[in-house]
Structures are given as C-alpha cells and as structure tokens.
Amino acid sequence: MNNPILVTGAGKRVGFHIASRLKQDGYEVLAHYRTETDDVQKLKQLDIQTIQADLQDTASIMEFIDKLQQFSPAYRGIVHNASAFTPTADDLVEAAEQYQHFFTIHMLAPFLINQALSKLLKGPGNDPADIIHITDINVENPTPRFDIYGTTKAGLHNLTLVSAKKLAPQIKVNSVAPGPVLFTESHTQEARQKMLSETPLAREGGAEPVYLAIKSLLENPFITGATIPVDGGRRLSKA
C-alpha cells in the first residue's frame, strides 16, 4: 500500500470531495471525520480508510495523533481541511468560547499534528512530502462579522509560512485559500447575491477547483510557502 494522505474534516462538503477525488486519482487516503454522516459512509464504500476524532482540546488532539502514528508508519502528506465557521457571537462570554474553539481547530490541531507527524512524512522518490492548509481569502480581505473565523484562519496562514521554513527540505508546506466555493446555511439569499456581485467570475465555484489546487501542489515538487487563492477573484473586492 502506498503511504496515505491524511485529510481532516472529510466527513462532508469540501473535505469529502477532496478525499474522494484523491482516491479517484490513485492516492491512498485516510479520511478524518468528527461526526458520522452519509458522506462518511460513502467514503467507506469507496474503500477509503476513515478515522474519527473530535479535535476539541489538547487531550483529544494528542489522542488522535496517537491513532495516526499507530495507523501508518509513513504518510505521503496532510491536508488540513477541518474547520469551524459561524459568525462571531455578540455575547462576550460566548465569543470567548468561540475563539478558543476556532483557535483549537484552525491553529492548535494543525500545529500539533504537523509537529508529531513530520518525521513520518515521506514524499515520492526524492521529492518532498506535502502539508497543505485550507485557509480562506478572509485572511487577506477580512469580514467583520466573521472576525474570529478570519483571525484564526490568518493564524493558520502564518503557520504555513513558518512551517515552510522549518520543515524544508523534506516537507513543503502550502495553503489553498477558498472564497465562495460552497455556500452554507448561514448565508442568506441576499448575502449570497452580494458575495457573487463582489466576485469577478460571478459564480459559486464548487469544491472541484479547491481539489485541483491541492492536486497541483502535490504534483509540483518546487513550491513551498505559497498560497493559491480559489475565490473567483473575490479577494480583489474592497467590500
């Protein structure tokens, strides 16, 4: 068996698409999920190995890392897709709890997993292995209503840059920054139309362009510390 690529947050939406497309393109995949979903069952039907973990605190992250170390002696790469996305709470106590949760998912978990698995990451042949962080164009063009989300994703972006320096030359570390690829239930019809009006390509991108950006990074052995925006140009908007 080839060394697997770990995809976190693969139980639905973009993460599910990434895991299934990697498998389709011949990669071995270990798909992490938090909650059992219909998409998790679909991953299993595609003969994709799955692993459950709720990355809610340091202890649970370390338990997950222990499972990963037992699952395989080597990994081809990691795609950090696990994410939390809600508007910032108005109540300060709720906002503080939200900040801690988003920090844990977006920053602490990737940092600890990268550190723990760095010695297990093996690229193809003489090429480096890959770590890919899924950030957001909010890093470059923040939305005030989602400031906790945006600032913790910005921390993940910075982790990309420092890790690219720290883990070279054995591992290359890059980011993919999606924009309006898949709307969520929190987006009203008015919000969707506004976002699309601010997007030069004027449409919802879908999950496939995110996967294509990931694939391009996996296949290019000479890119590290870079971010590929997958946003239809929305980061260029002043809004």
Catalytic machinery residues: 149
**Is the CA virtual torsion 74, 31, 135, 2 positive or negative?**
positive
What is the C-alpha separation between 207 and 230, in angstroms, rounded? Answer: 10
Instruction: Tell me the residue type at 60.
Output: S
Q: State the CB neighbour count (10 A cutoff) for residue 168.
A: 13
In whole angstroms, how far apart are CA 42 and each of 12, 23, 39, 66? 10, 12, 5, 26
Strand-strand pairing, 49-52 and 5-7: unpaired
- The angle that helices 109-117 and 58-71 make with each other, rounded to 10 degrees, is 30
